[in-house]
Amino acid sequence: MARDRYKYFRIEARELLDGLSRGLLELERSPEDRAVVARLLRLAHTLKGAARVVQIQGIGDRAHAAEDALAAHRDAGDPPVPRERTDELLRLVDEMSAAVTALDQPSPPPTAPAPGDAAPSARPDGPIRTVRVDLHEVDAVVETTLEAGVHLATLRRQLGTLDHAKEIARALADQLSVRRGEGGPPPARLRPLVDELARTLDGAHRALDVRADQAERELGEVRHAADRLRLLPARAIAGPLERATRDAARALERTVTFELAGGGVRVEANVLTAMREALLHAVRNAVAHGIEPAAERAARGKAAPGRVRIEVERRGTRVAFRCVDDGRGVDLEAVRAAAARKGLVSAADSAALDDAALTALLLRGGLSTSATVTDVAGRGVGLDVVRDVAARLHAEVAIRTERGRGTQVEVVVPESLTALTALQVEASGAVAAVPLDAVRSATFLESDRVAHTAEGAAVALGGALLPFVPLASVLGRPRPSGSRRAWSAVVVEAAGGRIVLGTDRLVGTAEVVVRPLPAYLRLDPAVAGAALDGEGNPRLVLDPAGLVAAARGRSTQVEEARAPRAPILVVDDSLTTRMLEQSILESAGHEVDLAVSAEEALEKARTRRFGLFLVDVEMPGMDGFEFVRVTRADPRLSSTPAILVTSRGAPEDRARGLAAGASAYVVKSEFDQARLLATIEELLG
115 to each of 52, 57, 63, 110, how far by Cα in Å?
Answer: 10, 10, 15, 15
In this prediction, residue 499 has a pLDDT band, given cuts at 50, 70 and 90, of: very high
pLDDT at 136: 61
Provide mean pLDDT across the span 145-163: 67
Q: Is the pLDDT of residue 495 over 70?
A: no
With b for 16 or more beta-carbon neighbours within 10 A and e for fewer, the 357-371 pattern comes to bbbebbbeeebbbbe
Helix axes 624-633, 651-660, angle to 10 degrees: 20
Provide mean pLDDT across the span 161-165: 70
Provide mean pLDDT across the span 373-377: 44
Report percent pLDDT > 70 for the chain.
Answer: 76
Which string of DSSP letters, residue by residue, matches 157-204?
Answer: HHHHHHHHHHHHHHHHHHHHHHTTTSSSS-HHHHHHHHHHHHHHHHHH
pLDDT at 138: 67
In this prediction, residue 482 has a pLDDT band, given cuts at 50, 70 and 90, of: low
Provide mean pLDDT across the span 196-224: 75
pLDDT at 283: 92
Provide mean pLDDT across the span 78-87: 88
At the topology level, CATH places domain 7-102 in: Four Helix Bundle (Hemerythrin (Met), subunit A) (1.20.120)
Contacts of 543 (CB under 8 A, 6+ apart): 316, 317, 494, 525, 526, 527, 528
Q: Is the pLDDT of residue 189 over 50?
A: yes
Provide mean pLDDT across the span 214-243: 78
In this prediction, residue 637 has a pLDDT band, given cuts at 50, 70 and 90, of: very high
Q: What is the CA radius of gyration of the chain?
A: 33
Report percent pLDDT > 90 for the chain.
Answer: 20
Half-sphere exposure in the Cβ direction for 496 (13 Å, CA): 1
Cα distance between residue 523 and residue 583, in whole Å: 9
Least confident of 215-219, 446-450, 505-509, 588-592: 215-219
In this prediction, residue 408 has a pLDDT band, given cuts at 50, 70 and 90, of: very high
583-612 pLDDT tens trace: 778 777 788 899 989 999 999 999 999 999
pLDDT at 116: 35
pLDDT at 147: 64
pLDDT at 446: 86
pLDDT at 560: 42
Which string of DSSP letters, residue by residue, matches 377-435?
Answer: SSSS-HHHHHHHHHHHTT-EEEEEEETTTEEEEEEEEE-SSEEEEEEEEEETTEEEEEE
| Domain 233-414 = CATH 3.40.50.300 | no
Q: Is the pLDDT of residue 184 over 70?
A: no
pLDDT at 221: 72
**629 compared with 109, residue with greater pLDDT:** 629
**575 compared with 59, residue with greater pLDDT:** 59
Average pLDDT over all residues of the chain:
78
Q: Is the pLDDT of residue 554 over 80?
A: no
HEC string for 83-122: HHHHHHHHHHHHHHHHHHHHCCCCCCCCCCCCCCCCCCCC
Counts of helices then strands in the chain (DSSP H, E):
20, 23
Contacts of 356 (CB under 8 A, 6+ apart): none
Give the residue extent of every domain in the chain.
Answer: 7-102, 136-230, 233-414, 417-561, 565-685
Mention the CATH class of domain 565-685.
alpha beta
User: Which CATH number applies to 417-561?
Assistant: 2.30.30.40
pLDDT at 324: 95
pLDDT at 203: 76
pLDDT at 110: 42
Q: Tell me if residue 444 falls in helix, strand or coil.
A: strand
Least confident of 104-113, 146-155, 180-189: 104-113
How buried is residue 128: exposed, middle or buried, by Cβ count under 10 Å (0-12/13-18/19+)?
A: exposed
Cα distance between residue 391 and residue 357, in whole Å: 19
Provide mean pLDDT across the span 318-332: 90
DSSP 8-state symbol, 593:
E
Least confident of 53-57, 80-84, 413-417, 679-683: 413-417
Note whether 89 and 24 are within 8 A (CB): yes
Q: Is the pLDDT of residue 364 over 80?
A: no
In this prediction, residue 375 has a pLDDT band, given cuts at 50, 70 and 90, of: very low
Least confident of 308-312, 443-447, 493-497: 493-497
Q: Is the pLDDT of residue 373 over 50?
A: no
Note whether 557 and 530 are within 8 A (CB): no
Cα distance between residue 512 and residue 367, in whole Å: 42
**54 compared with 122, residue with greater pLDDT:** 54
Strand 505-514 with 592-595, pairing: unpaired
pTM above 0.85, yes or no: no
In this prediction, residue 73 has a pLDDT band, given cuts at 50, 70 and 90, of: confident
pLDDT at 561: 40
Which stretches within 504-574 are classed as H helix? 544-552
pLDDT at 1: 36
Q: Is the pLDDT of residue 152 over 90?
A: no
Least confident of 23-32, 88-97, 135-144, 322-331: 135-144
Note whether 567 and 481 are within 8 A (CB): no
Provide mean pLDDT across the span 195-220: 75
With b for 16 or more beta-carbon neighbours within 10 A and e for fewer, the 622-640 pattern comes to bbbbebbebbeeeeebeeb
Q: Is the pLDDT of residue 357 over 90?
A: no
pLDDT at 310: 95
Provide mean pLDDT across the span 442-457: 81
Cα distance between residue 246 and residue 257, in whole Å: 8
Note whether 542 and 473 are within 8 A (CB): no
